[in-house]
Chain A
């Protein structure tokens, strides 16, 4: 079993849709959870950083962490064509210092 599982998609939605992206993980020591957005030919851009369980909101983005289920989500409201990118989840914690990434979900928002 991989430490972090992420559906690679691709995911295609119309402009204005609510997008839900998810990752599951197996290591209960993970405490820090991140979502990155990566455009083609660019590096990952940090969108959300959360610690432990709960929700965090930043503009159109909401991150949720459910440690009991080992499940994290990123919601994008009112999606825009500029949101078209690959979204990567990442996590670390405990003695696991290195960020462990999901493989990424390719999202396309159609005008």
Chain B
């Protein structure tokens, strides 16, 4: 069974640009969550999507947004990039709920110059 797939693996952008990251969950999983991982803050929750709707949201500014498609694939968008957005962005999927086991992809490493 294929795991969670994230693309691209690496991205380099400059301040002010925007970026879109993609996540394909494990087949049959309908809940997709996004996390930001940095050395200083560790793993922090961004948001969760289920049935094409944002169900839960963390404490990130509105520049961070996402969406989910009917096949459960999800995208995350960050607009007006700042230097502090440099991080590893991780996607996790679970069957139906965030209380079930969440399985992570290998992430997208975003570097802002």
Per DSSP, chain A at the interface is strand
Closest residue of A by beta carbon distance from B47: A98
Closest residue of A by beta carbon distance from B41: A103
Number of interface residues of A (CB under 8 A): 22
Q: Which of A85-99 contact B (CB under 8 A)?
A: 88, 90, 92-93, 97-99
- Bound CA span A36–B104, Å: 10
- Bound CA span A99–B92, Å: 11
Contact of B98 among A44, A49, A99 (CB under 8 A): A99
Task: Tell me if A34 and B48 are in contact (CB < 8 A).
Answer: no
Q: Chain B interface residue count: which class? A: 20 to 34
- Bound CA span A36–B101, Å: 11
For residue B92, which residues in chain A have a CB less than 8 angstroms away from its CB?
Answer: 99
Which residues of chain B have a CB within 8 Å of any CB of chain A? Answer: 4, 6, 33, 35, 42-43, 45, 48, 56, 58, 90, 92, 98-99, 101-107
Question: Could you pull out 28 A-B pairs where Cβ atoms are within 8 angstroms?
Answer: A34-B102, A36-B104, A41-B106, A42-B106, A42-B107, A43-B90, A43-B104, A43-B107, A44-B43, A44-B90, A44-B104, A46-B101, A49-B101, A92-B98, A92-B99, A93-B99, A97-B48, A97-B98, A98-B33, A98-B45, A98-B56, A98-B58, A99-B43, A99-B92, A99-B102, A101-B42, A101-B43, A103-B42
Which 3 A/B pairs are nearest by Cβ-Cβ distance?
A: A98-B45, A43-B104, A101-B43
